[in-house]
């Protein structure tokens, strides 16, 4: 088995590095209805955390709280050690939302879109240098888009477009990468490349990954922790702890695995 295919070694549990993102007793409500209730969560350098839960469990809301686009009603959130709204070096955090779209009708190429991932770090007024171009090419290859680099984005399939936005996040060289259902509808080969890229970010750059997904088969052997959210944290521990109870982290026929529905 090639080195890129081996299961990664889990981060030592005694690692006391400061969290890159942290929620402490966070609460949030929409129109008086509780969506997030007393959530504690921390992701540290070198850690791979999967966040799972049923539709409507608050996963996307929690991500928005962690990123600072929402503010908690109670509790505290820290991003890179600071309140999220005060973070200026945003390039240190990569984010891929569910089904991102290109709002402009300009037929930008794949390479041009991925290159924008370098601008937040360098500043839009500075031309890209050699290191930037190498980072862009590396990001393109990491998700298998090298042969499509000069194609207009609007000519690509939905799954290919999703890989473009993942590559753009990789190109910024983030310390923390947050992904919301990034591989839904993506083919198996792309999932393999996606998994290898995440492992590379964690092991070679000591980055951290927070992944929201219903389907963890591509990364199940690499995840350090699985966090089950259903408005509150129901489980936060190793995937082996769930699998020991017969939980399958692989492909599910329905949108939501039955075991998630049964948790309360």
Whether 46 contacts 176, CB under 8 Å: no
Polymer length of the chain: 264
C-alpha to C-alpha distance for 205 and 207, rounded to whole angstroms: 5
Looking at CATH, the fold of the domain delimited by 17-262 is given as: Rossmann fold (3.40.50)
Taking the whole predicted model, whether its pTM rises above 0.75 is answered as yes
Q: Would you give per-residue pLDDT tens digits along the chain (264 residues)?
A: 333 454 555 555 445 689 999 999 999 999 888 999 999 999 999 999 999 888 888 999 999 999 999 999 999 999 999 999 999 888 899 998 876 665 555 579 999 999 988 887 776 667 788 889 999 998 898 888 899 999 998 888 877 888 888 889 888 889 999 999 876 666 677 777 778 878 888 887 788 999 998 777 778 788 999 999 999 998 899 888 877 776 766 644 444 455 555 555
């Amino acid at each position: 088995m090639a080195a890129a295919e081996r299961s990664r070694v889990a981060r030592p549990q005694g690692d006391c590095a400061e969290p890159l993102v942290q929620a402490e007793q966070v609460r949030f409500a929409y129109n008086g209805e509780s969506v997030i209730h007393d959530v504690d969560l921390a992701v540290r350098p070198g850690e791979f955390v999967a966040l799972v839960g049923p539709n409507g469990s608050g996963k996307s809301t929690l991500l928005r709280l962690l990123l600072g686009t929402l503010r908690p009603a109670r509790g505290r959130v820290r991003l890179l050690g600071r309140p999220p709204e005060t973070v200026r070096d945003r390039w240190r955090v990569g984010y891929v939302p569910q089904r991102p779209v290109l709002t402009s009708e300009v037929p930008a190429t794949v390479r041009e879109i991925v290159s924008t991932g370098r601008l937040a770090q360098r500043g839009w007024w500075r031309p890209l240098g050699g290191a930037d171009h190498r980072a862009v090419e590396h990001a393109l290859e990491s998700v298998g888009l090298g042969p499509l680099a000069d194609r207009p984005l609007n000519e690509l399939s939905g799954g290919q477009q999703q890989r473009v936005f993942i590559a753009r996040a990789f190109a910024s060289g983030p310390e923390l990468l947050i992904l919301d259902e990034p591989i839904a509808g993506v083919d198996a080969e792309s999932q393999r490349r996606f998994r290898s890229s995440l492992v590379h970010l964690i092991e070679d750059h000591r980055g951290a990954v927070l992944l929201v997904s219903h389907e963890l088969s591509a990364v199940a052997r690499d995840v350090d922790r699985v966090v089950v959210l259903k408005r509150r944290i129901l489980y936060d521990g190793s995937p082996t702890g769930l699998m020991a109870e017969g939980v399958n982290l692989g492909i599910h026929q329905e949108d939501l695995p039955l075991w998630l529905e049964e948790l309360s």
